[in-house]
Amino acid sequence: MKTSLRFLAAAGLLAVVSGCATNVNTVERAQSQATPNYVSDKRVITDNTLARTVRVDAIKQAVVSGNLLKIQATLTNLKNDLRSVRYKFEWIDKDGMSVGGPTEGWRVLQLQGRESLDISTVAVSPRAVDFVLKISEL
Amino acid sequence: MTTIRFKTALLAGVVLLPSAFFLTGCQTAETRTIDASGPQALNTGGINSQDWYTAADQLVGSLITSGALDKTPVQPSVLAIDRILNNTQLNIDTDLLIKKIRVALLQTGKVVVTNTMGLGERAVVASEAAEMDEMTTGKKAKVIVPNYTLYGKLIQQVDRLNGVTQNTYSFQMSLVDVKTGLTVWEDDRAIAKQTKKSTLGW
């Protein structure tokens, strides 16, 4: 009786662990041909659980259409199951003031287990020179 | 006698009054102001306020990054807004999308939007104003021909499986060069929402 209970518990645990796994494998060129412009960033962590779940790997920037700043961040899910986060980009002008845009707002992002995804946005105002990326748990 | 009255008053004060507040309090509707583009926005099977912001942001980002607006000889490019078809089951005003796109594009300084062409009440008023100006001054009003027209379509696809309903909303948009009639940019962004039906049935 005890043995079968143990077996059931082990099988259940295995089902939970393997059933939830939705990890993503990737393949890419060994020597990247791209020459991205990485942004050195400053991080403020107020949610340690979130920081242990989703990591911001890198932030790149580019100028599009002559004078508009584009920012792209690569986020990685550090867990083995599907995770959802909210994120928001805010723009700052050269005087340190917020440049609110008509399309600015929180977005939802779903990451499969161990998956890395790029999120990006373009500043609609040429006044934007800096940005703040906010991430919160869904 | 005085003690009984005191006890009755105490009972009323301590037990009945809070109970009355509690009962009436339950019937009070609570309203709070939220950020329309924020995480507190109600998520429904339809297109909610957050979805409009997301779709507009993605389409504007795609259009700007494409560089299509930079190719006109004279900057800023003149843009006319064409029809935005709503092929969803929802009764929505497409200005919820197009206005955000217009505002964003104007802020970039890459385009100006003409109101003497295209659809909508404003276009009618602007056309009438141009006619009035023509009548009063006797001079033919100079109408600036747009470089581009922007048109779009909203489509809804509904899928159901095992009590889950999935609504996929496609936000399609195209930019057409007026001189050549060629589409110089277009994009299709989708937002999918799954709703699970309650097993209790209420």
The ipTM (two decimal places) reads 0.82
pLDDT at residue A75, as a whole number:
97
From A101's Cα to the closest Cα of chain B, the distance in A is 7
Comparing A12-16, A115-119, B1-5, B182-186, the range with the smallest average pLDDT is A12-16
CB A99, CB A125: distance < 8 Å: yes
Per-residue pLDDT at B202 exceeds 80: no
pLDDT-derived band at B130 (thresholds 50, 70, 90) equals confident
Per-residue pLDDT at A16 exceeds 60: no
pTM above 0.95, yes or no: no
Question: Cβ–Cβ of A68/B64 closer than 8 Å?
Answer: yes
Average per-residue pLDDT for chain A: 89
Length of chain A: 138
Question: Cβ–Cβ of B110/A65 closer than 8 Å?
Answer: yes
pLDDT tens, position by position, A44-102: 999 999 999 999 999 999 999 999 999 999 999 999 999 999 999 999 999 999 998 88
Nearest 5°: phi and psi at A2? -65, -40
pLDDT at residue B116, as a whole number:
73
CB-nearest to B70 from A65, A102, A138 is: A65
Least Cα distance to A126 among A68, A81, A87 occurs for: A68
- Average pLDDT estimate for A112-131: 96
pLDDT at residue A2, as a whole number:
56
Which residues does B contribute to its contact with A (CB < 8 Å)?
A: 35-39, 50, 53-54, 56-57, 60-61, 64-65, 67, 69-70, 99-101, 103-105, 107-110
Q: Which chain A residues have a beta carbon less than 8 Å from that of B57?
A: 103-105, 107, 121
Query: A18-27, A100-109, A113-122, B12-21: which has the highest mean pLDDT?
Result: A113-122
Best of A124, A127, A134, A135 to substitute, by most chain B Cβ atoms within 10 angstroms, is A124
pLDDT at residue A68, as a whole number:
96
- Average pLDDT estimate for B59-66: 96
Enumerate the β-bridge partners of residue A25. Answer: none
In percent, the amount of chain A with pLDDT more than 70 equals 85
State how beta strands A54-64 and A68-77 pair.
Answer: antiparallel
Per-residue pLDDT at B159 exceeds 80: yes
Non-local (6+) Cβ contacts of B178 within 8 A are B80, B145, B146, B147, B148, B149
Question: Cβ–Cβ of A122/B60 closer than 8 Å?
Answer: yes
Comparing A20-34, B14-28, B163-177, B188-202, the range with the smallest average pLDDT is B14-28
Comparing A83-87, A102-106, A124-128, the range with the smallest average pLDDT is A102-106
- Average pLDDT estimate for B110-129: 75
Per-residue pLDDT at B25 exceeds 80: no
pLDDT at residue B28, as a whole number:
72
Question: Cβ–Cβ of A124/B50 closer than 8 Å?
Answer: no
pLDDT at residue B22, as a whole number:
53
Instruction: Tell me whether residue B152 is exposed, middle or buried, using C-beta atoms within 10 angstroms of its C-beta: 0 to 12, 13 to 18, 19 or more.
Output: buried
Instruction: Find the DSSP H helices in chain A.
Output: 2-19, 48-53
pLDDT at residue B192, as a whole number:
96
Q: Which chain B residues have a beta carbon less than 8 Å from that of A66?
A: 70
Comparing alpha-carbon positions, the chain A residue that sits nearest to B36 is A105
pLDDT at residue A38, as a whole number:
97
pLDDT at residue B135, as a whole number:
85
Non-local (6+) Cβ contacts of B28 within 8 A are none
Question: Cβ–Cβ of A65/B39 closer than 8 Å?
Answer: no
Best of A98, A103, A120 to substitute, by most chain B Cβ atoms within 10 angstroms, is A103
Q: Which chain A residues have a beta carbon less than 8 Å from that of B53?
A: 103-105
From A77's Cα to the closest Cα of chain B, the distance in A is 20
Per-residue pLDDT at B187 exceeds 60: yes
Cα–Cα distance for residue pair A93/A99, rounded to 1 Å: 6
Q: Which chain A residues have a beta carbon less than 8 Å from that of B60?
A: 103, 122, 124
**Is residue A70 within 8 angstroms of chain B, CB to CB?**
yes
Least Cα distance to B58 among A100, A68, A104, A112 occurs for: A104
